[in-house]
A = this chain, B = another copy of it.
Amino acid sequence: MRVLGVDPGLTRLGIGVVDGVPGRPLTMLGVGVVRTPADAEIGHRLVLIERGIEAWLDEYRPEVVAVERVFSQHNVSTVMGTAQASAVAMLCASRRGLPVHLHTPSEVKAAVTGSGRADKAQVGAMVTRLLRLDAPPKPADAADALALAICHIWRGTATNRLQQAIAAHRPARIQEPRA
C-alpha cells in the first residue's frame, strides 16, 4: 500500500510518501515540504498549496491520502490556517477519487512510538528507525507527514480488516442512517 501523508499547515505543509504493509519493513519514497510566504494573500497561499500537493500526487501516485485531523481546541492562533490547508489536501485527493483518512496527532504518536504523548524528537527518532534513514527528516513537519503515512499503513489496515469482518457478519439489509 502506498500512502501519502500530509501534515497540514499554511506556512509549511509536510508531505511524506511511504510504501508498505504491516509486519514488513517500510519504504520511504519521498519526503518534503510545501511552503507558502506568510505575507501572501490567503487565497494565493491556498493556490500554491494546491499546486504543491498536485505535483506530489502526480509524481508518486499514492493509493491513499492520510491527513492529520485538526482540532479547534489546539493552537488557536494557527488552527484556522491549518484547517484551510488540510481542506485543500483533502480536496485534491478526493477530486482524484483517492480515499482520504484522518488520524489524530495522538493516534499517530501512539502508532509510531507506542505513546500518544510522545514528543517531536521521539516521533522523529522512530520515523528514522522504521524507514532506515540516516537522520531524522527535517523540518519536523516532514517527519510528521511520514509518521502519518506509517500510522495509516498500520492502523488503516487494521481498520479495513475490522470493516471486512463486520461486513461479512452484517445482515443483508441495513436501514441507512438519516442525515
Contacts and interface: CB of A to CB of B under 8 A. Distances in A.
A94 B47 contact: yes
Interface residues of A, number: 32
A39 interface: yes
A104 to B, nearest CB: 13
Interface stretch (A17-25, A26-34, A76-84, A132-140): A76-84
Interface string A130-158: 00000000000000000000000000000
Within the oligomer, what is the number of copies of this chain? 2
Contact of A80 (B37, B44, B72, B91): B72
Given A38-B179, A43-B100, A84-B87, 9 more contacts: A46-B90, A46-B91, A46-B94, A47-B91, A47-B94, A72-B76, A73-B76, A84-B86, A85-B87
Interface of A: 37-39, 41-44, 46-47, 50, 70-73, 76, 79-80, 83-88, 90-91, 93-95, 100, 102, 177, 179
